[in-house]
Amino acid sequence: MVTLTKSRIEALSDGVFSIAMTLLVLKLEIPEVMHHHNNEDMLQQMLALTPQFITYVVTFLIAGGFWFLHHLTFHFVRHVNAFLIWVNLILLMFVSLLPFSAGLMSHLFVHPVSQLFYFGNHLAIALLLALHWGYTRRANLLIDTEHASAARMGFRIWHAAAAFAGTIIVGAMFPMYCWTALPVVLMAGWIVEWRAFRRR
């Protein structure tokens, strides 16, 4: 199979991530406040935007985390081939979908369908990252598989996938606790990672 340099796919990926993360802010709707409205009225309208702000902050940070994992994987990649390019393109397709899924979530904050679509979007990115990383290891496309960061990559990616899968399950049964489940699962994974790798 023909191998290619990775510079252009890295440039495309950085561009898609940056544009998607920037577009998230457009989902924050400016409240229509008249000049004669008092401070209390304006604060109430701002508080009504709380779901949108939460969705923006969480989505931006998660997207940044995915970008970091993506950046780490390519740090260890020696070169790419056609299969890896297509996996990356499909991954970027789901990254570019984040502004839409975030907008849906911000308007239907505790609706099971919006939660399924939103966290399903993140789960798809995590699974594609897992496919990306697993394939590069099996196809011998990595520079150094023994590096400490390389050894932890698989755990981190599957940790993210498990967190979003767990959040989807909780959201399907208890929509009000969906946003609580995500940080709990992430924290549990970080503790497991710390205990598993602290002696390496």
User: Residue 117: is its pLDDT beyond 80?
Assistant: yes
Question: Which of these, 134, 164, 163, 151, lies nearest to 197 by C-alpha position?
Answer: 151
Percentage above 70 pLDDT, the chain: 86
Residue 70 pLDDT level (bands cut at 50, 70, 90): very high
Domain boundaries along the sequence of the chain: 3-27+51-197
Which one is predicted more confidently, 75 or 144?
A: 75
State pTM to two decimals: 0.85
Mean pLDDT is lowest, of 22-36, 70-84, 92-106, for 22-36
- The predicted-structure confidence for 151-164, as pLDDT tens digits, reads as follows 677 788 888 888 88
